[in-house]
Structure 1
Amino acid sequence: MNFEEKVSAQIAQVAAFADFLPAVAIINRATDGAAIWMNKRGLSQLGIELSDLQKFQDKEYFERFFNFADSEDINPKILALFERNNDEEVVTFFQQVKIAGKLEWTWHMSSTKILFRDDQGAPFLMLTLSIPLDRMFLAQKAEKLLHENNFLKENMLAFSSLSLREKEVLKRLALGETASECGDKLFISPQTVETHRKNIKKKLGVNTFFELNTFARAFDLICLYLTSTLGTGIWLDGVLSY
């Protein structure tokens, strides 16, 4: 059996059961990312025939069906997977897919592993299983995590412009402390706290307490924590309070 026959045989093994899976199954060529096979569920979601899908170059395939912004997170994971070249390893990520007939992107959770290697032992085919998040009961939680991730990306530069002292003041203000309370703990005057407050708002481009609190939570200056065993608690400033 030559190499092409081995590749075809591997794809046939997956195709034999993939249409029974409650997920989209895709086989991509590891060398260039081109999609060379997809189960019926995936083809139906994209509104395309397999023969037409196979005509796409890798760039055309990703530009048509996927949000390019996600590649910043996904590509390093896939490349690292190839470098480690481990049979047991699976990488999981979120990605936005353009579903046929829908204007908005549809978030998916996808998991990828190496499926087949060439004669030199290098990854040649990768198998991905992908599930639309809006069909999962945890969709709202996942959407919240994705929103927070996007918030971090969009505001990292602004947050990094804060000095260490300004971050300390931001934390105290987000916890609801007054200028006097904040000043007492940081050994500075209330007037200095107010000056820091103004600078923080200017640097972050915010005006309200809610916006300050959002930054503090997103960048782990404060953390809200709920416990189901001891009752409902809030983790504030390193102390679990009830």
Structure 2
Amino acid sequence: MTKPPIPTGPSLEHRIQLKIAEIAAVADNLPGVVIIHNHQNGMVVEYMSRRGVEYLGVTLEEVKRLGTEYYTKFFNPDDAKDYIPKIMGLVKRNSDEELVTFFQQVRTIENPGWTWYVSTIKILMRDDAGLPLLTITMAFPIDPLHHVTAKVPRLLEENNFLRNNLHRFRLLSKREQEVLRQWALGKSASETADILFISITTVETHRRNLKHKLQANSSFDLAQYARAFDLI
């Protein structure tokens, strides 16, 4: 006697489409662009709200067919050095509650150059093994006339500098950080000695150590550390 088939639930693909339909039902009423990425075969676009495809001047099907070429076609690759590691870190940490926010430059149909966006991403759905499968992103264009727009490149540059040089900055003692701050503010060795109540000889020793530990060759290099690590 043939056994009846064991009932099974909806397939993974069916559940993906249900989740996308759930988001799509409200996406066009939200103020930003909504994007859903599928991480099963790389970080490819599974869904984009109407506002997003209109900004890019394409259809959703065209975006999906692009696969990972979507990123090189519409996004500044220099920005990816900052936000791709953040996104991959989010997926690796496997946290449903965590949000990752980042800036990116997008090439839209209205601006063949670059338009700044601020985006936030989180895990939306998991696969049958419990691993992150879909992520959802909301992206908002930044007003080009807003003062923040001009500062974004500098903020990203400082953030990259901080991440790349954190291991060196951690070598500094508290006193060396204080000397670095005064140096970046343009104080002389004698002025620094008076401010910190130490001898000029001690200041000069700290300055030599700072240049060695930070591998800094100029006052500009030292000022970069002071700015990136909020000493000034």
Q: Same fold (TM over 0.5)?
A: yes
1:101 aligns with 2:115: no
| Mean CA deviation greater in 87-96 or 175-184 | 175-184
For residue 203 of structure 1, the aligned residue among 217, 220, 232 is 217
Shift of the 181–26 alpha-carbon distance from structure 1 to 2, 3 Å rule, reads same
Tell me the equivalent position of 2:52. Answer: 42
Within 5 A, what are the aligned runs for 1:51-90? 51-58=61-68, 60-90=69-99
Letter in 2 for 1:203: N
Distance in 1 of aligned mates of 2:227 and 2:86: 26
Tell me the equivalent position of 2:138. Answer: 129
For residue 127 of structure 2, the aligned residue among 103, 108, 118 is 118
Contact 1:26 1:39 in 2 (8 A): yes
For residue 21 of structure 1, the aligned residue among 8, 15, 30 is 30
Residue segments in structure 2 that go unaligned for 5+ positions in a row: 1-9
Deviations 1:141-178 (A, max 9, x none): 46535413314646967xx69x9698765532443534
TM-score (norm 1): 0.69
Contact 2:102 2:120 in 1 (8 A): yes
Question: What is the aligned-residue RMSD (CA, Å)?
Answer: 3.6
Distance in 2 of aligned mates of 1:178 and 1:134: 42
- Identity within the alignment, %: 39
TM-score (norm 2): 0.71
Q: Please list every run of at least 4 consecutive aligned residues from structure 1 whose deviation after the TM superposition is greater than 4 angstroms.
A: 154-157, 163-170, 183-186, 211-215
1:171 aligns with 2:181: yes
Letter in 2 for 1:140: H
Distance in 2 of aligned mates of 1:118 and 1:167: 47
Residue segments in structure 1 that go unaligned for 5+ positions in a row: 223-242
Contact 2:82 2:156 in 1 (8 A): no
The count of residues paired between Structure 1 and Structure 2 equals: 209
What is the Cα deviation at residue 106 of structure 1?
A: 1.6
Tell me the equivalent position of 1:240. Answer: none
- Greater relative CO (CA pairs within 8 A, separation 6+): 2
1:140 aligns with 2:152: no
Shift of the 154–51 alpha-carbon distance from structure 1 to 2, 3 Å rule, reads same
